[in-house]
């Protein structure tokens, strides 16, 4: 997954007058074979070139696009696609500017190949939102270590030690001096906590994270937590015991992932309950089931599409009006015969994203299972 600096560089990439090729696909072997993906790229590339030629392409633009398509085909033919987190692929290319970047995605996407002046990032954003970034901070009275996790990537955010002294009696001192040492120590710990809280706020401002886990002695964490800025504090997902010096990154990563997974599951349950509740209310701005969800998409009313990860369903589409149907042999809008498509769910996810809506991929055992495993929150 991209760190924010690389993402910003990609979003602002604009090699005019050359064009950028953006490509998305499912790389999960159960759903899309490598051979099929290569064939799809070749077919789509031919179709895109034909469209672009009618509007006029310069020699350099066409040469760059030919380079993009060759590079993509080569990438698909030679890349291993064995990482468990790689279920989809996003790739952006401008051969004429010697630019090629490819990223694994936490979920597949309908095979899509688009050419434009800048990278097409809506699917990337929608899919990356399925695996939100998290941070863990390990903190005691002297030291703090923080790591960020996003998909399969992890980074050290900071490792800071402050000299805060000790409250342990030195011996020989009594009364005023001892109280002075204690007071000095408390002040130093307060400054240490405040500095760590400031560092977390700074980290959040430069690369927003969805969740923050706190690790250390639980009573110390309680005192530290009061120093957190409200933007950061509202992201606290939980706390766990850890030895700040000895804990390894892999250990805290696993504990953080447990907390995040539990919280994500809660939020998914809430979202599904809200959807089901709203779909039962008059004017509730929600629908459930494949037929209703496709109808809402055709009317461009979908704000968020909720769908079970493994849902697949054959369907039909009208390429003239870009509408999707479960079974209609003829398009009710333009009377043209509809065309069969192997998986209308993939089409629905892609259409939601193209329309600027959000998607939420659910586990197969969510309460949406009783409602056809698909539903949508509506804009109006």
Residues near Zn ion, by CB under 5 A: 318, 320-321, 331, 333-334, 336
For residues 5 and 336, which CB has a smaller minimum distance to Zn ion in the complex?
Answer: 336
Q: C-beta of 331: minimal distance to Zn ion in Å?
A: 3
CA dihedral 243, 246, 251, 257 (to 10 degrees): 40
Other Cβ atoms closer than 10 A to 336: 12
Q: Closest distance between Zn ion and the C-beta of residue 325, in Å?
A: 10
Q: Nearer Cβ to Zn ion, position 89 or 331?
A: 331
> What is the nearest approach in angstroms of Zn ion to the Cβ of residue 344?
15
Give least dist CB 319 to Zn ion, A: 8
CB of 351 to Zn ion, least distance (A): 14
d(CA 107, CA 360): 11
- Angle, in degrees to the nearest 10, between helices 34-55 and 59-78: 170
Alpha helices in 79-175 (DSSP H): 122-128
DSSP 336: P
Which DSSP helix (H) or strand (E) runs through 233? helix 230-233
The answer to whether residues 198 and 157 touch, using CB atoms and an 8 Å cutoff, is no
d(CA 133, CA 154): 10
Nearest approach, Cβ of residue 295 and Zn ion (Å): 14
33 vs 319 by CB, closer to Zn ion: 319
As a whole number of angstroms, the distance between CA 68 and CA 55 comes to 19
| Residue in the block written with tokens 């759903």 | 31
* Nearest CB to Zn ion, comparing residues 117 and 332: 332
Q: Which is nearer to Zn ion, 93 or 323 (CB)?
A: 323
* Nearer Cβ to Zn ion (163/335): 335
Nearer to Zn ion, 139 or 331 (CB): 331
Residue of minimal Cβ distance to Zn ion:
331
- What are the contacts of 142-147 at 24+ separation with CB within 8 A? 142/192, 143/244, 143/245, 144/192, 144/196, 144/199, 144/244, 145/244, 146/196, 146/199, 146/200, 146/203, 147/249, 147/252, 147/253
Asked if 359 and 309 touch (Cβ cutoff 8 Å), the reply is: no
Output the smallest distance, CB 150 to Zn ion, in A: 41
What's the CA gap between 122 and 355, in Å, rounded? 9
Say if CB 349 and CB 314 are below 8 A apart. Answer: no
Measured between alpha carbons, how far is 319 from 337 in angstroms, rounded to an integer? 9
d(CA 339, CA 328): 9
- Comparison of 324 and 331: residue with beta carbon closer to Zn ion: 331
Supply the minimum distance, in Å, between the C-beta of residue 339 and Zn ion: 11
Of the pair 306, 324, the CB lying nearest Zn ion is at 324
Shortest distance in whole angstroms from residue 196 CB to Zn ion: 59
């Amino acid at each position: 997954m991209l760190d924010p600096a690389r993402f910003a560089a990609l979003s602002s990439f604009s090699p005019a007058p050359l064009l950028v090729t953006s490509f998305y696909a499912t790389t999960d072997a159960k759903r899309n074979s490598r051979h099929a993906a290569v064939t799809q790229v070749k077919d789509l590339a031919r179709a895109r070139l034909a469209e672009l030629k009618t509007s006029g392409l310069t020699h350099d633009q066409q040469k760059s696009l030919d380079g993009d398509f060759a590079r993509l085909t080569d990438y698909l033919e030679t890349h291993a696609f064995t990482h468990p987190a790689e279920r989809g692929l996003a790739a952006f290319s401008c051969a004429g500017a010697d630019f090629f970047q490819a990223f694994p995605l936490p979920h597949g996407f309908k095979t899509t190949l688009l050419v434009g002046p800048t990278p097409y990032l809506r699917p990337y954003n929608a899919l990356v939102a399925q695996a939100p970034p998290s941070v863990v901070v390990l903190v005691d009275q002297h030291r703090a270590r923080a790591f960020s996790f996003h998909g399969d990537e992890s980074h050290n955010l900071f490792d800071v030690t402050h000299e805060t002294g000790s409250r342990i009696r030195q011996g020989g001192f009594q009364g005023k001096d001892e109280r002075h040492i204690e007071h000095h120590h408390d002040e130093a710990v307060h400054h240490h906590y405040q500095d760590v809280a400031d560092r977390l706020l700074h980290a959040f401002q430069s690369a927003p994270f969805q969740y923050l886990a706190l690790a250390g002695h639980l009573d110390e964490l309680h005192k530290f937590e009061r120093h957190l800025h409200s933007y950061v504090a509202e992201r606290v997902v939980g706390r766990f015991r850890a030895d700040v010096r000895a804990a390894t990154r892999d250990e805290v990563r696993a504990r953080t992932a447990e907390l995040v997974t539990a919280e994500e599951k809660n939020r998914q349950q809430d979202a599904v309950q809200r959807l089901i509740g709203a779909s039962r209310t008059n004017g509730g701005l929600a629908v459930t089931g494949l037929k209703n969800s496709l109808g809402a998409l055709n009317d461009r009313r979908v704000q968020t599409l909720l769908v079970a990860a493994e849902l697949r369903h054959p369907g039909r589409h009208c390429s003239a009006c870009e509408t999707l149907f479960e079974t209609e042999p003829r398009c009710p809008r333009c009377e043209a015969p509809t065309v069969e498509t192997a998986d209308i769910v993939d089409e629905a996810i892609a259409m939601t994203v193209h329309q600027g809506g959000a998607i939420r991929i659910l586990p197969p055992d969510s309460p949406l299972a009783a409602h056809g495993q698909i539903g949508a929150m509506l804009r109006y």
